[in-house]
Amino acid sequence: MPWLPAQCRTENKHSMAMAQARVVALALCALLLVPGVARRAEAVSYNVGNSAGWDLSADLPSWADGKTFNVGDVLVFQYSSYHTLDEVDEAGFNNCSAASALLSRSDGNTTVPLTAPGDRYFICGSQLHCLGGMKLHVLVSQPAGGAPAEATPQSTPQTGSGAALGPSTDDAGIPWLVLGGSHRATVGSMLLTWLFVAATLLLV
């Protein structure tokens, strides 16, 4: 606007620069927020008993102590031919009885996905082994960060490229985006973030 005084033109340019700086700052905040949501939704694969595995020599209560098990996590039971893995109800757990087992496996390498919140009870089918300590109770919680990711091994580093791989849906039908490796975020969370940025742009 050549008819405006030089001081007005300078103030106008300064206001535009400040507005652009605010837009850039908000965009950076949004980019930082989305991976944070993905990290909160990351799942874990737990090797039960660590190196001892599903065995009499493992201190299973101590192994489970302090761990938080979320929906989407996976329990991996590795055991010898002398043992079995049985999932039971609370009564079967307390009595070391697999008579009404919900799940019974003897393959030596059993993976159990934690698909819903609540209590899960596991014992060895041999009552003597169960009485000797081969029993495990885990409390499964719903993660606060949205839909859980596919489980990742505890000791295996992430090998994802870090690039967005595209949208999909989880078992509950909730859309999510893979953000490299096992990181993912719900489309709803990302959409809310970008709507916030767009609304701010309109108000500038």
- Clarify whether residues 33 and 111 are in a common domain: no
**Is the residue at 130 inside a domain?**
yes
- Clarify whether residues 77 and 61 are in a common domain: yes
- Clarify whether residues 109 and 89 are in a common domain: yes
The closest of 131, 124, 128, 121 to 106, measured between CA atoms, is 124
- Clarify whether residues 127 and 191 are in a common domain: no
- Clarify whether residues 50 and 29 are in a common domain: no
pLDDT digits (tens, 9 = 90+) for 115-129: 999 999 999 999 999
State mean pLDDT over 52-59. 97
Number of domains comprising the chain: 2
Q: Please report the pLDDT score of residue 144 as a whole number.
A: 73
Query: What is the value of pTM for the model shown?
Result: 0.57
Give me the domain span that covers residue 57: 43-141
- Clarify whether residues 75 and 126 are in a common domain: yes
pLDDT digits (tens, 9 = 90+) for 135-194: 999 999 998 765 555 555 554 333 333 333 344 334 344 444 433 333 444 445 555 566
Sequence letter at residue 130: C
- Clarify whether residues 155 and 130 are in a common domain: no
Note the helical H segments in 42-170: 60-64, 90-95, 127-131
What distance lies between CA 64 and its chain's CA centroid?
18
**Is the residue at 1 inside a domain?**
no
pLDDT at 55 over 70: yes
